Structure 1
Amino acid sequence: MIYLIFTLGLVLDYFTKIWAIAVLKGQADIEVIEGFFTFSYLENRGAAFGIFQGRVLILAMVTIVVMGLLFFHYLREKNPSKLFIFSHGLILTGAFGNLIDRLRYGFVVDFISWHWKEAYYFPTFNMADIFVTIGTGLLIIYIFKEVD
């Protein structure tokens, strides 16, 4: 199951980023829901929320180490639950999707922008970021369930 999650997630991440490059790069933003949701091309040369700008090699190395540790954790689990598998699959998929971008382009392609009119803009993100965020949330739920 983890390999299916990984494969489908990578395909979705890859093609949405290819779409963003082809359609959004150098063009005006596409407003999907006025004052709330926009597709907007951004080359993120840092990590989440723009930290570590220009540190591609360091970010790539940290990503590889964390992915290795997470995969090792997955392999050590004798009878993994669906929640455990799904959380690890999503995190690994998102991390790998953004790693591919960093190594290929020197930046991560972000294109999803949530905002409240012109007053507040959440940092622009991509599908890989969504996978990591959901996977991390599910992993936290899994950990709390195991503690009980």
Structure 2
Amino acid sequence: MSAWILAAAVFIIDQFTKYIVRVGMVPHQSIPVIKDILYITYIQNTGAAFSILQGRVIFFTTVSLMVIAALIFYIFRIPPEKRFFRMVLSLILGGAAGNLADRLRFGYVVDFIDFRVWPVFNLADSAIVIGVALLAYIIIFDSHIMKSLE
């Protein structure tokens, strides 16, 4: 799978799930999926992860644009044979673009996955966290990939 297709798939699936939540629920409405474990809870998050720094939409929009630009730049520089590394950055790119689209259109990010023991999040957040965890693994344990970018 192409890095660009993966990033686009993450973006589209994220936006589609957020659309379903936005049109089918009202803010703060919560629907149990698995009682006492998993809920769909519609939150309009004007902050970052875990709702920190609420209301800093311009700041997060600017940071998101810079991160997206850097990801695109590096994806182009990664040799084709480093597919795994390209896919990792594509997960982060698709997630960042999904949350940026929300900030630009609504002034907030739509969050809805609620385990009640963790702040409410969305699929873009999941892609970013998985991508960053895999990136950390690459940086720590697979340094020859990083040297190929020099």
TM-score by length of 2: 0.89
Instruction: Give 1:3-22 correspondences, 5 Å limit.
Output: 3-22=4-23
Point out where structure 1 has 5 or more consecutive residues left out of the alignment. 116-120
Instruction: Give 1:28-107 correspondences, 5 Å limit.
Output: 28-107=29-108
Task: Give the secondary-structure state (helix, strand or coil) at the position aligned to 2:72.
Answer: helix
Q: Distance in 2 between matches of 1:137 and 1:28?
A: 31
**Residue equivalent to 1:23:** 24
Number of aligned residue pairs: 143
CA contact (8 A) 1:83 1:142 kept: no
Q: Which moved more, 1:18-27 or 1:43-52?
A: 18-27
Q: Distance in 2 between matches of 1:95 and 1:16?
A: 15
Give the % identical residues. 36
**Residue equivalent to 1:118:** none
Q: Distance in 1 between matches of 2:36 and 2:10?
A: 29
Point out where structure 2 has 5 or more consecutive residues left out of the alignment. 145-150
Counterpart code for 1:122: W
Counterpart code for 1:139: L
Q: Distance in 1 between matches of 2:27 and 2:47?
A: 20
Structure 1 moving runs of 4+ over 3 Å: none
TM-score by length of 1: 0.90
| RMSD (Å), alpha carbons | 1.5
Shift of the 28–60 alpha-carbon distance from structure 1 to 2, 3 Å rule, reads closer
